[in-house]
């Protein structure tokens, strides 16, 4: 059996006295995708930051490719791509310059060719030489996705990848995720609700009071009320 790409053991994170994540035990094998559902402040972004090595757990540990997330060296970071709330793009550089910069940083063999190819894949060829500062939020999100994927990482961490995207953009993002899974990448994505993420065909989990559980579909409110009325004999 292949070694897990992501493995958390009793993972917990607190900010001061406020616990955000508790006792997370979670494994993800190569080529698998997980969607983590949760409301605002549930701890989704914190979880991704820990998996990316940007934040340290307060308890337990997270292993990425078998290495402790607190000590991910260049060899491991090279294999991780992250799409966060902020785009990590330079507003005074053009879309092409941004992608070329990140491609060079990740040691991509032909950075200009890779940048052009990814501009095409996210539908931004026509805006390749425009500064990112002039982009709409949706265009910036597309470009940020290209930035995260340009080195074809083995692990993709995506924080609400469908946010700010129009219908075409959401279809495009779903295609990119499916393509990443098809080439064997492991994906962890977050979303506020299932409809946002279900088109990406990922296993669903939810964070409930800091704990990560397999997602269970909630009963619609009217069904729940009807059941309650039956129980009460009314």
Partner 1 sequence: MAAFTAILRKDLRLELRSGQSTIALVALALLVLVVLVFALDPAVARGPETAAGALWVALVFSGMLGATRVLTAESENGCIRGLLLSPADRAGLYAAKLAAAFIFMMVAEAAGVVMMVLFFNLEFDAAMMRVAPVLALGALGFASLATLLAAITSRARASDLMLPLLAVPMYVPALIAGVRASAAALSGAPFSAARDWIGILIAFDVLFVTAGYLLFEHVIAEE
* Cα(32)–Cα(41) distance, integer angstroms: 25
Contacting partner 1 within 145-164 (CB under 8 A): 147
Q: Quick one: 102 or 205, whose CB is closer to partner 1?
A: 102
Asked whether 147 and 102 are in contact (CB, 8 A), the reply is yes
d(CA 196, CA 213): 19
- Asked if 206 contacts 213 with a C-beta cutoff of 8 angstroms, the reply is yes
Q: Which span (60-68, 87-95, 179-187, 198-206) binds partner 1, by CB under 8 A? A: 87-95
Under rule CB under 8 A, how many of the chain's residues touch partner 1? 29
Among 9, 27, 77, 192, binds partner 1 (CB under 8 A): 77
74 is a contact residue toward partner 1 (CB under 8 A): yes
Per CB under 8 A, 78 contacts partner 1: yes
80 forms part of the interface with partner 1 (CB under 8 A): yes
Q: Does 106 bind partner 1 (CB under 8 A)?
A: yes
Among residues 89 and 176, whose Cβ is nearest to partner 1? 89
Question: According to the binding rule CB under 8 A, does residue 136 interact with partner 1?
Answer: no
- Candidates 23, 61, 90, 194; binder of partner 1 (CB under 8 A) is 90
Give the CA dihedral 167, 164, 98, 51, nearest 10 degrees: -110
84 counts as binding partner 1 under rule CB under 8 A: yes
Closer CB to partner 1, residue 36 or residue 80? Answer: 80
Q: Judged by CB under 8 A, does residue 93 bind partner 1?
A: yes
User: Would you report the helix, strand and coil content of the chain in percent, each value rounded to 5?
Assistant: 40, 25, 35
- Pairing label, strands 59-64, 211-214: unpaired
Identify whether the C-beta of residue 62 lies closer than 8 Å to the C-beta of residue 10.
no
Pairing verdict, β 33-37 and 203-208: parallel
Cα separation, 146 vs 140, whole angstroms: 10
225 lines the binding site for partner 1 (CB under 8 A): no
* Shortest Å, Cβ 78 to partner 1: 4
Residue 11 and residue 211: Cα distance in Å, rounded? 10
Which residues lie near partner 1 (CB under 8 A)?
A: 52-56, 74-75, 77-78, 80, 82, 84-93, 97, 101-102, 104-107, 147
């Amino acid at each position: 059996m292949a070694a897990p790409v992501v493995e958390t053991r009793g993972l917990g994170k607190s900010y001061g006295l406020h616990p955000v994540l508790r006792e997370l035990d979670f494994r993800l094998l190569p080529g698998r995708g997980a969607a983590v559902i949760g409301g605002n402040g549930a701890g989704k972004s914190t979880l991704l930051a820990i998996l990316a090595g940007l934040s340290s757990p307060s308890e337990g540990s997270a292993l990425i490719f078998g290495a402790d997330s607190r000590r991910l060296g260049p060899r491991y970071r090279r294999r991780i791509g992250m799409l966060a709330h902020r785009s990590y793009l330079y507003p005074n550089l053009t879309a092409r310059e941004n992608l070329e910069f990140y491609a060079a940083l990740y040691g991509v063999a032909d950075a200009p060719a890779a940048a052009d190819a990814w501009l095409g894949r996210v539908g931004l060829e026509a805006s390749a030489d425009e500064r990112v500062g002039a982009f709409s939020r949706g265009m910036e999100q597309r470009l940020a996705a290209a930035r995260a994927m340009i080195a074809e990482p083995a692990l993709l961490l995506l924080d609400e990848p469908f946010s700010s995207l129009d219908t075409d953009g959401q279809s495009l993002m779903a295609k990119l995720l499916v393509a990443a899974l098809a080439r064997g990448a492991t994906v962890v994505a977050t979303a506020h609700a299932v409809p946002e993420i279900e088109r990406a065909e990922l296993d669903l989990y939810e964070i409930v009071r800091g704990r990560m559980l397999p997602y269970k579909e909630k009963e619609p409110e009217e069904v729940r009320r009807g059941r309650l009325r039956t129980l009460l004999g009314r």
